[in-house]
Amino acid sequence: MTTPAELNDRLDKLRRVRAKGVQAVRIDGEEVTYKTDAQMASAIADIERQIAGHDGRQIRRVRITTSKGL
């Protein structure tokens, strides 16, 4: 089982990579390439849910953004 500290590290790395506009990330020796920003946003949201589960918190609001890529 992944610890909250490991999840926070993954979350930080994903956010930094996303901010740079890069779609490939290497975490724990495994490389993952996201096809779209929406996939990366979904991965970030999933890690946030896992962290909230460890903390005993419940996520009450989900923000979804979309773009036509123009």
Residue 56 confidence class, pLDDT cut points 50, 70, 90: low
Cβ contact 42:35 at 8 Å? no
Instruction: Count up the domains in the chain and report the number.
Output: 1
> Which domain does 27 fall in, by range?
4-55
Domain assignment present for residue 67? The answer is no
Encode pLDDT of 31-54 as tens digits: 989 898 889 999 999 999 888 877
pLDDT value at residue 44: 92
CB 12 within 8 A of CB 6: no
Residue at 69 is within a domain: no
Separation in Å, CA 44 to CA 47, 62, 70: 5, 12, 23
- pLDDT tens digits for range 13-31: 999 998 988 888 888 788 9
Q: Rounded CA gap, 3 and 69, in Å?
A: 36
Element (H, E) at 32: strand 30-33
Confidence tier at 5 by pLDDT (50, 70, 90): confident
